[in-house]
Amino acid sequence: MTVDALPPPPDFLPETSPVSVADVVPSASRSRERALTRQVVVRRLLAVDATGKLSSVHARIAAESAGVSVRTVWNWLAIARRSGRVEPVPRRGAFTVTDEFWARLSELGGNVAALHRELTGQAACGPGQESAGLVPSLGTLHRAVRREQQAGRVLQGVRPGRGRVESAVYDRALADLALPGTVDEAGRAAPVAEPVPVVAPDGSAGFVPLGVRLYVPGAQVVATSQLGEVTEAIGHTVAARGIACVYGDAGQGKTVAVHRALGLLPRRVPVRLAQVAVKPALPQLRAALLTAFGLPATALTNRTDAADRALIDAFKTPGVLLVDDVQRIAAPELDYLRLLADAPTTQTSLVLCGAGAERTLARAPALASRVLTWQHVPRLDVSQVPTVLRLFHPLWHTAAAADLLNADETCARGNFRTWAKITSHAYAALDQRPGTGADRALLDRACSRLGPNP
């Protein structure tokens, strides 16, 4: 993007996160930080180049790590090969763009004139600031932004197209570079949070993302047959690039099943989560979708045409958009999802999940008629209860099947979340009275803690 092609000033300038006049003062510390990043990246590229394995994938990873364009990385490398210099030569007396300045420019859609008006207005409100010479002229701002763009700096929200690379090639190049935050100096992957283990009734193991509330130490997510059906349904829907609705009563494990199904998709398929508020208005829903795709929601939320174009472009990418708790969204806003899904260029699959989601979509028949897969998540079957609970927590290994079935009939009624709560109370009671077993008296006591409507 060139400065001459920057979009016109937006009709609405957000009042949040304003840039003060002091934000445009040259910052030596930030310049040193960027220079250090360049030195690290170029030295690693030179080291890989010395082995004869340097490729465009290495340059792409280095550009993503440094926050610059791939062309800039190749220019850095050419300078280092030619002169042996890995650090930049600062321009004396030139105006420097700070990180705060660049972030605000991104929120304004790259509109330099709008940013200059905002800075000038703030300086006029501050006594004595206009005489301090801290606000550069409009021409100086344009030249400073142009220099940053020519140096490879990219405005947020601008995502240049990238060619697809096989995951094995990408991972091998990542290990070659050993950049901070990816792998350590020995080439080992950086430590990440371990996922929650999944234990199936047949003894097989898998994983789901963290965030499942199990209420008690030592509990495990169990891969039930219901969870397997959700996995199969979502896999088919994503392959067909359609819309799926996963519904059922609260506490049945819908979100766990959906997350596990999405986790089993090929690793290069992007999965995005839209977090919606209760009864969101259309601008709020639009902002949630923009945020899910990593687009500048603050700058686009109240620019309807620009936001719609940005979302339609985002939906062109094959992937999955998960909207959990879809029952919070009213019918007019659901129809906005239908318009996005109906665009001829849409390649993104929609997964709509929530308790009572089928009743919510019934109030939006245009969207409901486009749902490819309806997947109900039922309660645990009576025959499943003893086996599933013993896989869920070791506490139930010694419990009699008749006692577990009685508690399920009188209290839990096949609801997995209710059983997690019962397990938590039983675990606490056994901790206070070690040596006792999980008998009917313990189950009755745990169930009594759940209130009249467990």
DSSP 133-165: T-SPPHHHHHHHHHHHHHTTB--TT--------
Confidence check: pLDDT of 180 > 60: no
pLDDT at residue number 352: 94
Range 73-99 average pLDDT: 74
Say how far apart CA 285 and CA 329 lie, in whole Å.
Answer: 9
Residue 299 has pLDDT above 80, yes or no: no
SS3 content of the chain, % helix, strand, coil (to 5): 50, 10, 40
| Poorest-pLDDT segment among 45-49, 202-206, 213-217, 311-315 | 202-206
Percent pLDDT > 70 in the chain is 71
Provide the percentage of residues in the chain whose pLDDT is more than 90.
7
**pLDDT average, residue stretch 373-402:** 87
Residue 243: predicted pLDDT: 93
Q: C-alpha angle 221/227/228, rounded to 5°?
A: 120
Query: What pTM was estimated for this model as a whole?
Result: 0.54
Q: Which of 323, 372, 319, 324 is nearest to 349 (CA)?
A: 319
Q: Does 58 have pLDDT greater than 50? A: yes
Instruction: Identify the band that residue 188 occupies on the pLDDT scale cut at 50, 70 and 90.
Output: very low
More confident residue, 220 or 248: 248
Q: Which of 137-141, 287-291, 322-326, 450-454 has the lowest mean pLDDT?
A: 450-454
What is the structure's pLDDT at 176? 59
- Contact predicate 242/372, CB 8 Å: yes
Burial of 236 (0-12, 13-18, 19+ CB in 10 A): middle
Instruction: Give pLDDT tens digits for 29-41.
Output: 445 556 667 777 8
Residue 431: predicted pLDDT: 76
Asked whether residue 124 carries a pLDDT value surpassing 70, the answer given is no
Tell me what pLDDT residue 322 has: 92
Of the candidate ranges 124-128, 242-246, 360-364, 423-427, the one whose mean pLDDT is the lowest: 124-128
Q: How far from 405 is each of 34, 95, 328, 381, 394, CA to CA, in Å?
A: 64, 75, 34, 11, 17
pLDDT at 446: 87
Does the pLDDT value for residue 51 go beyond 90? Answer: no
Whether the CB-CB separation of 141 and 112 falls below 8 Å is answered with: yes
pLDDT surpassing 70 at residue 203: no
**In angstroms, rounded to a whole number, what is the distance separating the alpha carbons of residues 422 and 406?**
13
Residue with tokens 């766990």: 256
Question: What average pLDDT does this structure show over 209-238?
Answer: 75
Sorting pLDDT into bands at 50, 70 and 90, what band is 209? very low
The vertex-242 CA angle with 236 and 248, nearest 5°, equals 75
CATH number for the domain running over 225-376: 3.40.50.300
pLDDT digits (tens, 9 = 90+) for 328-380: 999 888 999 999 998 889 989 999 999 888 998 988 989 999 999 999 988 88
Indicate left, alpha or beta for 165 from its phi (over 0: left) and psi (-120 to 50: alpha). beta
Closest CA to 160 of 251, 67, 74: 67
The whole-number pLDDT of residue 301 equals 63
Q: Indicate if the pLDDT at residue 202 is higher than 60.
A: no
DSSP states of 161-207 as a string? Answer: ------HHHHHHHHHHH--TTTB-TTSPBPP-PPPEEEE-TTS-EEE
* Range 388-409 average pLDDT: 86
Say which residue, 345 or 300, is predicted with more confidence.
345
CA–CA separation, 396 vs 411, rounded Å?
16
Query: Between these two residues, 339 and 126, which has the higher pLDDT value?
Result: 339
Would you say residue 182 has pLDDT above 70? no
| More confident of the two residues 337 and 23 | 337
Could you report the per-residue pLDDT of 145-162, keeping only the tens digit for each?
Answer: 877 776 656 665 444 344
Q: Give pLDDT, residue 395.
A: 85
Q: What pLDDT, on a 0 to 100 scale, did the predictor assign at position 245?
A: 94
Residue ranges covered by each domain of the chain: 3-150, 225-376, 382-448
Query: Which is more confidently placed, 202 or 441?
Result: 441
Q: pLDDT tens digits for 233-292? A: 888 888 888 999 999 888 888 888 888 888 777 767 788 888 888 888 888 888 889 888
Report the chain's mean pLDDT, rounded to a whole number.
74
Selection from 100, 106, 141, 102 nearest residue 120 by Cα: 141
